Structure 1
């Protein structure tokens, strides 16, 4: 491969084709597309390479061993023939390559972009998963990638295509995001085999997808399902890793085969044309890490295209025209056809989950695989938003690269073999290393800004973020005195429960910013974390309520030792029958079983049981696939469980012990009774019997749910699910458990006519309602076998010499659907979900001096409950990236599900917004520059959006709307 790079550089040095085709080349975008023939069957040949940012190798291993050769080799090939095309997808890899090129090569690449030969599609940092990702992280990683492309290659490189060809099922929210990014189309390969068969029979492999039930036609996007995964047609892979018959066009050669190969290819194209609705078909020419020696493929494709010019092939009396193309050019050709023929594509309004590639093989295990990784990513996103908000208040006095390190690490984590947990273990370790380094870097940057705000000068208070607090370790709280700053990233005031490991079980005096004593509570740690290596772990956890934290602001709490006498531990007694909590929110524990028995909340008392159970795995269960042996799971505990009352000034609850596999605190907090918290730890899973285990937390109620339940789409809109049913195809229920599992990013809900019952999660998990009135969430899994989908390892994570333990939280919300007199229960759920996604971030330092400013609010006033600042971050000098979102859907709340207008002219404390330039969701182009294709049956329009007055500092939001701005600011 080094020879190809040398030849490329040598050709540039000689001045060969360094600025080709500029005089008569078409402009970029759709204008650069080859002309489709309305009277022919148009075969769009799309050369591509699918480059995972980690899977069987790490990101760096893939880049240095494969991807750098792919890009360099392709550039050489494109330079030699102006008809050739290629699409570049993952920006994380492109940045690694681009940063190593000289100006001559960069200019050559720019020319290829400008004439449409090299097209950027998707453009995100990675090709993200669509089940386990949260919409905030998806938007961020698209913003990161699109900006890099825009900054380095300009307008002609702006992607217009969503290229999600490898994720394992597809979410409606991804379609909505893609439309809001300004994309005209989405392409993917994986959908349920029955759905694909039906679509092939009905010629609906091209469709129109409505990505939102709230945004209407504005979220419509043309969607195309690839015919044969994303590989080259059978027999026509010409890459150096393939052994298919090459094309020989020398008629004197005894192996001459051009006419034969043209006929074979034409036969395949005739078959494909039977399954698509227009006179256009797209043919992917590529696969994983192809084109390392690009000329081998391009020379054969050149001959194939030449052959169709020499030997006319027909389909239904139409000439078959074969030419190099791109997904965007295919989109334009289909758009021209449906508009000229007034043809309505099939409209899709739900999603493409779950995905099965055959009988009994549902890809629903990865909804939970590597559960600790999924939570780690959520922590990374939480800190990233905090860091960006603090940096926005710093007026440039921060290191942008420190935060960019975390942006890129979180972007990589969205990859469909990262957050999914479907990578090899050494790759997972590399992801964790990247994320931990990124978090430490961003925490250092945020800590410095926070120090400046607190001290009023450049003093560094050396804040630590206590990233190991979940295993009861924090170096900064080992001393008798320390300082805690609690930062609230929400756009409204909130009260939060702060939990810290402490040592020596001494009494503390905690003083708030007004010098008042703060009540606190000492609990035993959920379990003994002494197995954790290289960390001093505590047996005691301190919790206190940080009340009325200001929006985008903080409060500082000062800790000191009150005396050396141990404070009494609130683990009071083992008791057979417990009623725990407060008048508004409480629960009861069964005397016979030790399990949860009933819940009272928001004026409703409901019988609710909760237990940890497990499915045993068939041999085909693995990182991707979930195949339980039985339909009824077994209990983790063999009999009644032990319960211990936990009560103090901050919370009331019980500690439940389910045996060696699981322990759990169930708690109600005195200062936040909007939910009941289930703080659990599960593992190590016992698979010494040779059988995999997949553990669920199951809630059972008497609600009559008639096979209906609801799950969120990437943390945003909620979709109705019907057990053993699909809206688009005839469903067979040979796998009644795995086939009814769906991704749960933030919540799962059941209801009857009057009562709504929801369980909210702190990470993405698989979940379902297998029986009426039940909710189950898979929290941990360990499998004995690889499931044969490519990763080549069984899923059995080890940590500290044993099976991994998973710690997490569920938040239960119950009430009448109409609400608690203030909000609907759906609105309460939205509030809790937001507060858990963007939890107040706790910074701790041993320093106690120079604390001059003990509280700060980034906003002069809280925003309304239905509005959140989704993004606030530095963009350029005196410019911030600023997103506002409406957080409720239509109809979720009588008062809050309404249009709302926010005046941002005098909103912020340290700066004022003077201009707002509205952009597309990814912030890579002004909104008035975004012209999308129109489709019959949709009101999406190709008319330009009316230019917004930059001096208009009011923003009006409809339910579920996100609006993105580049805000010019003046610092006070």
Structure 2
């Protein structure tokens, strides 16, 4: 590390949970003045990075808005939106989809879609098209000639080609962490911004395929500057009620901590998912008849087509609020031959509108989501208000899409580790200075992580060969992400630690197969400084013999000053107690046998998407041969394929449960879904809490939905919710919090109980398109995948519980990167380093520090506590940026929106008026105080 500090302008994006103020101590026009206060999820930057001048941006944005076709105030205006939905991997890999390879699996070639659409847009200036997935568009753009690129720029400037959403992919909303979502959105939007300027900036978020919708996603979209959000999937009971009440378009208040309208987002539910109306699909993959408009031919059908279309439009208008309705004209990987679509859409518009001379009140036009949204805004109405989320999603009585919360748990863990690894390497690239940017660090890891956020990637709902491809891409990204040698420096004292040596467990021996032969493992606590590293040395004893450990009989109690854990002498099951309160918590492992679809209620089986056990009562395992070691560790076997290690560290408020599940046996021809369940004496009243994308906590209640009267048909699956990083149950005395190391599904099925699904192995496809069962095997585990994970349990009094579990969850999500070297270190090697002058306040978390361009970096700080959550840590916090870093001088900053593609002072969003007295959940949103 060079002794002299780097002088950098710092691009700053702040995610805030209360109020932060940032004194700079400088009088700079592009810097915030001392004491400037901002609230929750705001962002800042120092330099213009590719954004065009303000006047040019405003002029181009106005030109794009003017490109919307005129509507007619006294008619029903039908907005036809030509689009394609291009999964960034699902049945085929990303590469196969782009090139059109493996059409024996699915006929789809994204490069041909974009070729064909551009060609057809040029033939008729009235036509419109929207595109979503920047990962594909980026590939296609790089292959185009400069003249074609200029042609596409002109189409974008004229509003004929519109980008919506604009992230690298259309991310999943249940199993993604907000830090990775922000990164992938930033990557996609930055490319569009640098390539097309203001006219390429999406104004509408577009999540037409994810399987349920998270409140935190809406909050992020609002703070990225989007005017509206459209999606296609909605619980069938919720949709039915909203259709009757004309509430399929609403105002989503997506944060209980942000002052409205900061996180308010207009949200529209599309009428046909994302497909065209029945009978009006004119893609080469469709069977609907074309419009045959030669009256001299016998099969002339214009009158029939127009009549059917008019009926569909008028029926749709009955369940929406204005004289504007939207129709999605396209579907999965459509428009490879765009001429088929556009030729028939041109005719449809001409013949329907031709009836206006005969008093018809239907007006059809080519449109885009932003043009449609503009008309809804002009209507100046009040809108129903929603403050909860759209989980869980069911498309019929016994078909709850809650299985994918846990599907492919190994991939979910690998994605989470990869995110942590990427953040560390981003930080090292900044702290290492210019020399670190000359190495192999590249964008491959960022692109791999961005692709992994896709709603058929980390969700676990892809074919097995595609899941393997996602993992390979992540692994390749790791190779680019190296520890930079420039971070070492001399003149630092060595670190000292005390080791305990533990024999390798039987479970570990079985998991590693023939890939290792060590007989012992080291277990010891480490301390690393913030935004830094520590070095530890390990060596044999002087006589050359390895340390040994002593085996003991199972202890009745293991404990530290915060926590006491007892084990039942008969079953080996553990119960956790805090010393002051004596509130027991029993932990058991169980399994659900999966439905094969062969029963009287429904033919729906459990699969990658759907969770449907064949009984509401799980089958328990019983602990066998518990063992203990000198390291406050107890090892448990519940069955030959389910084991657990219980660890309690000194000075830790959390109990660690390391679970190993697999190979899940299927010789009985039954799929299985393994859970861990925590049964307590906490009086929950059937309430529990789960996080939204790792950010804000939401209150849940068994068999209850805040905005409609639920008719529960699946008592287990219908009460499962995504748990991205933590969940808890509480009463006035105690709070039990579980922190997960990956996204998982879970719920509170019984009063005082919290269960989390660990692993799934299923034998039937659930008929949602993937066309293969979730039956994971590998070359190493041909008899079934073995998965290992970790849960952290803490039992605290509610006033202090949030202060403990939020930082703990962040530590698990963004865990330290471990690197190893053999032999003696250079005597001048720096053994410890921190990039901060001092630790940040407990309420403040450094989320992002990455290089933006040569002389500026991107920084995200977040106030991580909700406004109601903590008496101490929900309060405003002051951060002095000039005194923040130990190796960087902050020269100045300017403010950007959350996704870094727009100056904050230029971010003008539509204002919407909510209806009074609506939207608040019928739950006591009690404080944790």
TM-score (structure 1 length as normaliser): 0.84
Cα distance in 2 between the residues matched to 1:793 and 1:550: 47
Cα distance in 1 between the residues matched to 2:434 and 2:193: 22
- Deviation digits for residues 118-138 of structure 1 (CA, Å, limit 9, x no counterpart): 001111111110000010011
- Deviation digits for residues 525-561 of structure 1 (CA, Å, limit 9, x no counterpart): 34244664773353322122223x2211112223333
Give the structure 1 partner of residue 736 of structure 2.
Answer: 757
1:313: Cα distance to partner? Answer: 8.8
- 1:440-451 alignment runs, 5 A limit: 440-442=479-481, 444=482, 447=483, 449=484, 451=485
1:141: Cα distance to partner? Answer: 0.5
Counterpart secondary structure, 1:736: coil
1:36: Cα distance to partner? Answer: 2.3
Tell me whether 1:390 sits opposite 2:428 in the alignment: yes
**What RMSD over aligned residues (CA atoms) do the two structures have, in Å?**
2.0
Tell me whether 1:579 sits opposite 2:554 in the alignment: no
Unmatched segments (≥5 aa) in structure 2: 1-58, 101-108, 597-604, 917-926
Q: Is the 8 A contact 1:313 1:320 kept in 2?
A: no
Tell me whether 1:594 sits opposite 2:577 in the alignment: no
Tell me whether 1:324 sits opposite 2:366 in the alignment: yes
Tell me whether 1:628 sits opposite 2:667 in the alignment: no
1:663: Cα distance to partner? Answer: 1.4
Tell me whether 1:130 sits opposite 2:173 in the alignment: yes
Cα distance in 2 between the residues matched to 1:400 and 1:351: 44
**CA 1:530 to 1:936, structure 2 compared with 1: closer, same or farther past 3 Å?**
closer
Give the structure 1 partner of residue 789 of structure 2.
Answer: 808
1:695: Cα distance to partner? Answer: 0.3
Match of 1:436 among 457, 468, 475: 475
Cα distance in 2 between the residues matched to 1:932 and 1:401: 40
**CA 1:134 to 1:227, structure 2 compared with 1: closer, same or farther past 3 Å?**
same
Tell me whether 1:668 sits opposite 2:648 in the alignment: yes
Counterpart secondary structure, 2:404: coil
Counterpart secondary structure, 1:884: strand
Match of 2:113 among 50, 66, 70: 70
**CA 1:26 to 1:782, structure 2 compared with 1: closer, same or farther past 3 Å?**
closer
Give the structure 2 partner of residue 93 of structure 1.
Answer: 136
Give the structure 1 partner of residue 66 of structure 2.
Answer: 31
- Deviation digits for residues 732-788 of structure 1 (CA, Å, limit 9, x no counterpart): 222100000000011111111221111110011000110001010000011110001
From the two aligned structures, give the one with the greater strand fraction. 1
Cα distance in 2 between the residues matched to 1:305 and 1:318: 13
Give the structure 2 partner of residue 163 of structure 1.
Answer: 206
User: Stretches of 4+ moved more than 6 A in 1?
Assistant: none
1:574: Cα distance to partner? Answer: 3.0
Q: Is the 8 A contact 1:231 1:286 kept in 2?
A: yes
- Deviation digits for residues 840-871 of structure 1 (CA, Å, limit 9, x no counterpart): 21111125343432221101111100011211
Cα distance in 1 between the residues matched to 2:413 and 2:517: 20
- Deviation digits for residues 220-276 of structure 1 (CA, Å, limit 9, x no counterpart): 001010111111111111111112111133333333322331221111000100111
Q: Is the 8 A contact 2:431 2:487 kept in 1?
A: no
1:431: Cα distance to partner? Answer: 0.5
Cα distance in 2 between the residues matched to 1:805 and 1:755: 34
Tell me whether 1:177 sits opposite 2:212 in the alignment: no
- 1:658-697 alignment runs, 5 A limit: 658-670=638-650, 672-697=651-676
Q: Is the 8 A contact 1:220 1:938 kept in 2?
A: no
Match of 2:354 among 310, 314, 319: 310
Give the structure 2 partner of residue 146 of structure 1.
Answer: 189
Counterpart secondary structure, 1:379: helix
- Deviation digits for residues 348-404 of structure 1 (CA, Å, limit 9, x no counterpart): 100000000001110010000000110000000000110111111133322587341
Counterpart secondary structure, 2:143: coil
Give the structure 1 partner of residue 255 of structure 2.
Answer: 212
1:571: Cα distance to partner? Answer: 5.0
Unmatched segments (≥5 aa) in structure 1: 1-23, 457-511, 819-823, 940-958, 960-972
Cα distance in 1 between the residues matched to 2:439 and 2:895: 23
Tell me whether 1:703 sits opposite 2:682 in the alignment: yes
Q: Is the 8 A contact 1:335 1:933 kept in 2?
A: yes
1:635: Cα distance to partner? Answer: 1.2
Cα distance in 2 between the residues matched to 1:690 and 1:641: 25
Tell me whether 1:915 sits opposite 2:892 in the alignment: yes
Give the structure 2 partner of residue 943 of structure 1.
Answer: none
Give the structure 1 partner of residue 341 of structure 2.
Answer: 297
Give the structure 2 partner of residue 964 of structure 1.
Answer: none
Counterpart secondary structure, 1:734: coil
Cα distance in 2 between the residues matched to 1:452 and 1:26: 44
TM-score (structure 2 length as normaliser): 0.88
Q: Is the 8 A contact 1:571 1:644 kept in 2?
A: no
Cα distance in 2 between the residues matched to 1:32 and 1:699: 58
Cα distance in 1 between the residues matched to 2:531 and 2:721: 34
Q: Which structure would you say has the larger RCO, counting Cα contacts within 8 Å and 6 or more residues apart?
A: 2
Give the structure 1 partner of residue 487 of structure 2.
Answer: 453
Q: Is the 8 A contact 1:27 1:114 kept in 2?
A: no
Cα distance in 2 between the residues matched to 1:714 and 1:350: 14
Counterpart secondary structure, 1:82: coil
Cα distance in 1 between the residues matched to 2:292 and 2:99: 33
Cα distance in 1 between the residues matched to 2:829 and 2:142: 43
Give the structure 1 partner of residue 805 of structure 2.
Answer: 829
Cα distance in 2 between the residues matched to 1:268 and 1:303: 17
**CA 1:516 to 1:734, structure 2 compared with 1: closer, same or farther past 3 Å?**
closer
Cα distance in 2 between the residues matched to 1:425 and 1:539: 34
Match of 2:80 among 38, 45, 58: 45
Q: Is the 8 A contact 1:193 1:357 kept in 2?
A: yes
1:566: Cα distance to partner? Answer: 4.1
Give the structure 2 partner of residue 229 of structure 1.
Answer: 273
Q: Is the 8 A contact 2:133 2:168 kept in 1?
A: yes
Q: Is the 8 A contact 1:528 1:539 kept in 2?
A: no
Counterpart secondary structure, 1:53: coil
